[in-house]
A and B are shown apart, each in its own frame.
Chain A
Amino acid sequence: MAEMVKLFVNGQEVEVESGKNLIDAFEVIGIEIPHFCYHPALGSDGNCRMCLVGIEDGRPPLVPACKTPVSEGLKVQLDTEKIKKIQHDVMELELINHPIDCPVCDQAGECKLQDYYMSYDHQASRMRVPQVVKEKKMDLGCGVIHDQERCVLCARCVRFTRLITKTGELGIINRSDDARVALFPGRSLDNRYALNIVDLCPVGAMTSKDFRFKQRAWFLKRDKGICHGCSMGCNIFIDHNREKYKDDLIYRFRPRLNPEVNGYFICDEGRLGYHRENEGRLISARIGTEESSADQALQTARRRMEGADKLLILLSPNCSLEQMLAIQALAATTGATVSGFSDGSIKNGDADGYLIQDDKSANRAGLALLGVNTSPEFFESALQRTDTLVSFNNDLFITGPNQAWAKKLGEIQIIAISTHDTLFSRQAGIAIPTASYTEYAGSVINKDGILQTFGQAVCKNSAPLDMIRIAGLLGGTLTDPEALMQAMKRKIPAFAAIETDQIPEKGLKLSHNEAAHVTA
């Protein structure tokens, strides 16, 4: 717990954390100081002047709150007539050349200009001269669309490219009312985090090509999730909506602050990973070439598994810990060998030392924790001995069909429990659809040994079964949530050590011993 300091806001004494600036410190206790340019990840720039506050100690009459650290006994004024006038004037300045095209603007509903207009301005425009005309719908590259007329020149996007991605594509050129955000002529945005600019932009100047005109912000339901795009385990918001007479669809992923994992940002690949949750899914179960109900397919699968001589179960490194435990229990009941082989999901050399990792699966550390063998040798020898292969969402053909196993895979029975309609699931004798990671709740361990949970976000009209349920229907004994929780606690002492059954919001860092075990 950080040290606390006492200070006064509008004459009232409050206690806030030290070491922060006024904006951040007051936000925690529910006092808003309006601001455009300040962002905790980008530091205070002091260019927008919206956060000016008064301090009663002989300083200049007004100071920017973003550049003023809290200190003991500080007397801060937020509601004097002078401050209100300043806020009103800054808003009037920002709106002089703003097109006010909110009805067609994607930012509407989550726009600082809209919010602050209602809170701090609320006056008709006095401008009777033509507005300055600038460029609209500029394609900056990387799926970012820029509208110079909506821009308030807070320079968050410019600072993001200079301070975070260190690519520096953007700059604010010209001056006075002709100032605008622009790229150097002939160049475009070129970094793997560019779409964070869209989130950073406090107004509708930066919009995402992918999300533009798809959905109004206020229709979206925001659920917390964990990105399964790689082993970083970035925290995200899953923004989804079920339109009337339609299915529940995801419209975007947005980063969710977790200082222990991803900070304020996510990569573009992860952000656009939601498409895979909506598209290319395995819709209905299939036995041979015949479509069937999931029940029937599961019954047939169970009979084949019982009749199998040597059963091999293939686990995906994307499964949640709970699913892994349930499937391990299924393997114990059926006497199956379990492999977690999935080399295809590792892209060597793709990591960038920031958020993007080589390993494109979310829970490989979980496989290690549960002692599942992931070596190709083990898988290959098990494959040569087996006559029935059950894959739990592990796509063996993720990098294309493997010629080495083609003959063997042709000879054995394959039961594919799959979220997606893939080459592999199409080759399987039985294919059963299952819920994907936005459709179930679970826990995963990221590459740094941080255990994180996520809840169910999307609820499909014809919701495919979760893998835990499927494991139960195939003969597994460990499917009860409470029993799974206890099993997890037995495997993870750090989890057992905390009193509640809830893994903390920011994740649980596994102890050194466990981490060593994870990487073993």
Chain B
Amino acid sequence: MFKLFFSLQWKAFFRSSNFGKSLALKLLMGFFAIYMMVSFAGLGAALFFILKKIYPDIDPMLTLSGYMLYWILIELFVRYFMQKLPVMDVRPMLINPIKKSSITHYILAKSGFSGYNFMALFMAVPFAVVLLSQGYPILNVLIWLFTIICIVLTINYTNFIINKSDKVLIVLGGLIAVLYGLENFGVLPVKEFAGKVFYSLYQNPILALIPLGLVLGTYFVNYNFLRKKLYLDASLKKKTKEAVTADLSWTKRFGDIAPFLQLDLKLIWRNKRTKMQVFISLAMILYGLIFYGMDAYGETSTIYLFVGIFMTGIFLSNFGQFIPAWDSEYYGMMMSQNIPLRKYLESKAGLIYVSVVVMFLLSIPYVYFGWKALAINFSSALYNLGVNVPVILFFGSMNKKRIDLGKSAIGNTQGISATQFLVMLPLMLVPCLIYFGLKMLISFEVAIAALTMMGIIGFAFRKPLLDRVTEAYRKKKYGMIAGFKEQNS
């Protein structure tokens, strides 16, 4: 039975759609994963010396122990959002001659190998190695590592128990805040107290039985709960939300494009990934603070133009680069319906225009850093409106990768291909180069004026430009329909 489950897991991993990605994307993601692992491991290895330097008189192990309570609570808090019990994959097994208890064990054991659990180990193992090299007793260090594993697994299984109610989340958040408050105002030395508790786990290997007991305990609470609810209408049910409809008749004033505008607004609001884009875009207005906060660049550095293009065009690039893949699920229908492609594109363009204007309005407070900041953001916004909107729509005609709207928003790379990286170049780099060149050769004012003019000219000629884009879509129609049909691209 175990072998069977193992081979299933193996296939699920290697045949997952993530694996079918293009080589470039795989390399990029692999690089990113290795980077994360190395930085965690590096931090783990350096941690000993860092702690030693900050608190030279205290055993780094004791200092670390002081933070462990916070680590546990914060990890629980974060996991609440990120990690769900992987129950949906077992549906095909229910009707086969496999004992329900085996299925339950399978689900729970599988969750034990989740990536979240390895994160802490990437730090803990190098840390333990350093401990050994510093002459700490082998038995204690190894047992300590074991207790860390137990604690991680306890967090893992506790998360599934508490994941059922929002109240626990509030309690958790409150607890973290209260403990931190008590500590900070000197009411209760939480760190010292917790430090002693966790340090004793290291000192007395026999106490490792306690975290071990906790793992087993939480595991069996989960087991009992899940075993009883392994039915399609209980824990294996997909949750459906009640549909809330909004009155969008105000879009009528935009004339012909109204039905598409309504559709786009619903598309954005009713799907996780698109909704996330909106929030990310709004949050990115703060991006400029990182650069404006530093004095290193001077008032008119090219980096500020990049920031301006980025902030006012964030929705443009995030949403725009996947046009028309957002509609890929029903692209065949759209193409067989009586749809003027032109109106479809106009609606998307209109939506992006609005986003650019909104982002510019939000960026007005940057005038605090001088009128030049405002000028840069203003010309960036106009450049985005006039030049980047047609550019991104045009590149959209090269999209052939399907996007399933139902999939989650975090770390979702579906629909990404080399096109997406290519399109960033003209979008962000070209205006920066123009600005840099003109500013160096002539002056800041001329550079700004040039970009603004380009934007205005592009906007004035938006109709013929959009005609061109429409033609490109028409030519690529069959390729798009076929590409969007492929499920695992």
A and B interact physically:
no
